[in-house]
């Protein structure tokens, strides 16, 4: 069974649906650890309720990204993590994590990449008045939302759409797309024997 780490910075609705899919037996994996860079984030409460171990930290308590990512890698190795899924983790992954887990880090981003990378992708798409936007799941490389795309799903922006209603639509898509992609990736990794 794969051991996965989820990384998050905020509310953790994606974390929640992934944890529930695992509990239901839809995804064959254990969430070995939640890594969170915002010790006050609601996602930590969700993890505690589900009795999932948490490593939370504040970047400003470390002298560099190398230093806090080295600590994260130690925690991941201790927990026997095979794959990392970013679920609203609002930091660029650095060389230390990429060296340790390159090719095994996946992110979900709320736009049809390569359109609207970076922060507030939903707001960027809304302000650009695009008619179609969506969600992308991709492997993480050293760039900002630039890694190879695994899957995407689109959504139409209605005439009377608001920023909030668009966010709701996008999150609804995320909550089915991400668990499905995770399930497929982990199944493929087990079949190919590349779990680690
Ligand atoms: C999600 O919409 C995710 O796509 C986005 O953060 C949100 C987290 O929501 N991620 C990014 O923008 C990454 N660049 P959640 O905390 O409710 O899962």
- pLDDT one-digit tens code per residue, 50-106: 999 999 999 999 999 999 999 999 999 999 999 999 999 999 999 999 999 999 999
CA of 180 to the centre of ligand 1 (A): 16
Q: Where are the domains of the chain?
A: 2-195
Structure tokens at 64: 């560099």
Residue 121 Cβ contacting ligand 1 at under 6 Å: yes
Query: Under a CB-based contact definition with an 8 Å cutoff, are residues 31 and 6 in contact?
Result: yes
Cis bond leading into 13, ω under 30°? Answer: no
Task: Using alpha carbons, select from 86, 196, 97 the residue that is nearest to residue 138.
Answer: 86
Averaged pLDDT for residues 150-179:
98
Q: What is the pLDDT of residue 81?
A: 98
Return the best residue to mutate from 9, 35, 87 for the ligand 1 pocket (most ligand atoms within 8 A of CB): 87
Instruction: Grade residue 26 by pLDDT with cuts at 50, 70 and 90.
Output: very high
Residue 37 Cβ contacting ligand 1 at under 6 Å: no
Nearest-atom number in ligand 1 for the CA of 16 is 18
Does 90 belong to an annotated binding site? yes
Structure tokens at 56: 């939370």
Chosen CATH of 2-195 out of 3.40.50.170, 1.10.10.410, 3.10.20.90, 1.10.10.10 = 3.40.50.170
Residue 87 Cβ contacting ligand 1 at under 6 Å: yes
- Look at the block and give the residue holding tokens 């130690």: 74
| Helix/strand/coil for 158 | coil
Does 44 belong to an annotated binding site? no
Q: What is the pLDDT of residue 192?
A: 83
CA–CA gap between residue 33 and residue 152 (Å, rounded): 26
Q: How many CB atoms lie within 10 A of CB 2?
A: 20
Please report the beta strands in the chain, taking only residues with DSSP state E, as ranges in sequence order: 2-8, 29-36, 54-56, 83-86, 105-109, 132-139, 149-156
Averaged pLDDT for residues 22-31:
97
């Amino acid at each position: 069974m794969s051991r996965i780490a989820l990384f998050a910075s905020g509310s953790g609705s994606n974390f929640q649906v992934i944890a529930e899919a695992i509990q239901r037996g839809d995804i064959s994996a254990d969430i070995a650890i939640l890594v969170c860079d915002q010790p006050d984030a609601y996602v930590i409460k969700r993890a505690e309720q589900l009795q999932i171990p948490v490593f939370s930290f504040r970047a400003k308590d470390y002298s560099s990204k190398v230093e806090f990512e080295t600590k994260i890698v130690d925690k991941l190795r201790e927990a026997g993590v095979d794959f990392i899924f970013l679920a609203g983790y609002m930091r660029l992954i650095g060389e230390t994590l990429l060296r340790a887990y390159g090719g095994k880090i996946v992110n979900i981003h709320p736009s049809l990449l390569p359109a609207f990378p970076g922060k507030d992708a939903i707001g960027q798409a809304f302000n650009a008045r695009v008619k179609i936007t969506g969600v992308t799941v991709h492997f993480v490389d050293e760039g900002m939302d630039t890694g190879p795309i695994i899957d995407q799903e689109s959504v139409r922006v209605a005439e009377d759409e608001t920023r909030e209603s668009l966010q709701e639509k996008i999150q609804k898509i995320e909550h089915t797309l991400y668990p499905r992609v995770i399930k497929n990736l982990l199944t493929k990794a087990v079949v190919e024997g590349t779990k680690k």
